[in-house]
Amino acid sequence: MEDKTLLSQNTGENIYHCIRCGLCLAHCPVYKEELLEVASPRGKVQLSRSLVEGKLDLSEEVKEAFFSTCLLCGSCVANCPSGVHGDHLFSGVRWRAKQKYGIDWRKKIMFQILANKWLMSKSAALGGWARRNFSGPWIESKIKAGALSVDRIPPFNKKAFSETVPEVVAPKSGKAKAKVLYFHGCATNFVFGDIGNAVVDVLSKMGVEIIVPKDQGCCGLPIFLSGDRETSVSIIKETLKLFARGDVDAVLVDCATCGAALKNEYPHLLKDLRELGEKVTDEEIKAAELLSSKTMEVTVFIEAHKDWLPKMGESGKKIRVTYHDPCHMAKGMKVTAQPRNILKSIPGVEYVEMPGAIDCCGGGGSFQVEHAETSAKITKRKIDNIGATKAQVVATCCPGCNVTISNHLDPAGGVRTMHPVQLLQMALNR
């Protein structure tokens, strides 16, 4: 029996747009490793269709196909001539699977922590303290979290980034040329505080006033994509209250996933949820559309206002830099040129393009922990491509990609991962 309630009409229509051409296959990182139709985007679109048409039951085995063979990287969407949104379809099926089978208890705890700012800050503080005091390199090097070596996961910030920066940062000099909100997300707040410092430093030197709302939390997208829509919707609504403001010139993000959430996904998700019975008001949808129109990845804003940048200092020696395109940035936000342009403009940077820069790094958030074997195969391609460039720095605009890539680079090779804005900050402070 046909089960149209499985997906919203808007999302469900995607199954009828697929012409089974297979053009998505060559772009799917999982299919390229597994070479199985069930692991391909086309295969999963057809599985979704069979589910909606009642020809297939959402068994454990079928459910598994939507988790273990998909990073929700969006490569299939970006390369589909029919505009099929496989990512929306697959995350919709994950949500139904969650309703039928529940969610893994470890993920449940993790999502409850992400959804609660107080819990998140206490957990990060406790985790950082425990790691500093109890886990020496000998112990950590023995522990793996899926494909990740625990000793090479970056440590927590000693202090949350939000506690180190005022809520309003004035321009370094003169009258503000623009006023922006900065959504720093969880990764910068608790792990990559240096990236947050670089963003604030560079923008204030450009003459920008930066508002960093203290109460901000997770963007909710990792939770939503895992199928826990109920938990993510309250996070989305909280974010809208803080960031959907008409009195700022832009809302800036330094994380590709947060950017994809705020720029692309919120309006779609809220409309979808409302159609499926969730309480979502017209005002909330309008707020999501306003936020979407204001959201920019920070390199896009800097490149658009490059005339505001002070003179960068010359460097005595060259540094070889390559760039990895995060999936949610290149395929989600369609941003590829701006971070490269910034890198190429920095004195002393010798930019070198890596083969397959736009290919997924294999991380996919919890995918690398739960499906280590597939993830590691995808990551190996990326690491080999980085190696071919002989770069000393891999720049990327996603903390998730940063964690994955830095974890797999040869520790003896001395290659660093950085956000492009960190390299820019170094040049401005020389």
Question: In angstroms, rounded to a whole number, what is the distance separating the alpha carbons of residues 373 and 375?
Answer: 5
Site for ligand SF4 in 370-429 (CB under 6 A): none
Residue with token string 């707040």: 189
Site for ligand SF4 in 22-51 (CB under 6 A): 22-24, 27-30, 41-42, 44-45
Q: Does 225 bind ligand SF4 (CB under 6 A)?
A: no
| Shortest Cβ 35–ligand SF4 spacing (Å) | 13
Bridging pattern class, strands 208-211 and 168-169: antiparallel
Q: Which of 6, 76, 273, 386 binds ligand SF4 (CB under 6 A)?
A: 76
Window contacting ligand SF4 (CB under 6 A); options: 1-9, 77-85, 191-199, 373-381: 77-85
Q: Are 68 and 370 in contact (CB under 8 A)?
A: yes
Q: Which of 70, 235, 288, 335 binds ligand SF4 (CB under 6 A)?
A: 70
Question: In angstroms, rounded to a whole number, what is the distance separating the alpha carbons of residues 8 and 89?
Answer: 9
H helix or E strand, kind and range, residue 209: strand 208-211
Which residue lies nearer to ligand SF4 by CB, 71 or 110? 71
Question: In angstroms, rounded to a whole number, what is the distance separating the alpha carbons of residues 387 and 384?
Answer: 5
Site for ligand SF4 in 151-180 (CB under 6 A): none
Window contacting ligand SF4 (CB under 6 A); options: 12-20, 202-210, 250-258, 392-400: 12-20
Q: Total number of residues binding ligand SF4 (CB under 6 A)?
A: 27
Which residue lies nearer to ligand SF4 by CB, 184 or 328? 328
| Shortest Cβ 86–ligand SF4 spacing (Å) | 5
| Shortest Cβ 46–ligand SF4 spacing (Å) | 9
Q: In the 8-state DSSP scheme, what is residue 386?
A: H
**Which amino acid does the sequence have at 134?**
F
Which residue lies nearer to ligand SF4 by CB, 164 or 336? 336
Q: Which of 52, 71, 93, 218 binds ligand SF4 (CB under 6 A)?
A: 71
Question: In angstroms, rounded to a whole number, what is the distance separating the alpha carbons of residues 142 and 159?
Answer: 27
**Two tokens, residue 295:** 């959201």
Question: In angstroms, rounded to a whole number, what is the distance separating the alpha carbons of residues 186 and 300?
Answer: 21
Residue with token string 């522990």: 143
Distances (CA, A) of 266 to 114, 293, 369: 17, 11, 26
Q: Does 218 bind ligand SF4 (CB under 6 A)?
A: no
Which residue lies nearer to ligand SF4 by CB, 46 or 123? 46
Q: CB-based contacts of 17: which residues, under 8 Å, 6+ apart?
A: 82, 83, 84
Q: Does 21 bind ligand SF4 (CB under 6 A)?
A: yes
Binding site for ligand SF4 (CB under 6 A): 18-24, 27-30, 41-42, 44-45, 70-76, 80, 82, 84, 86-87
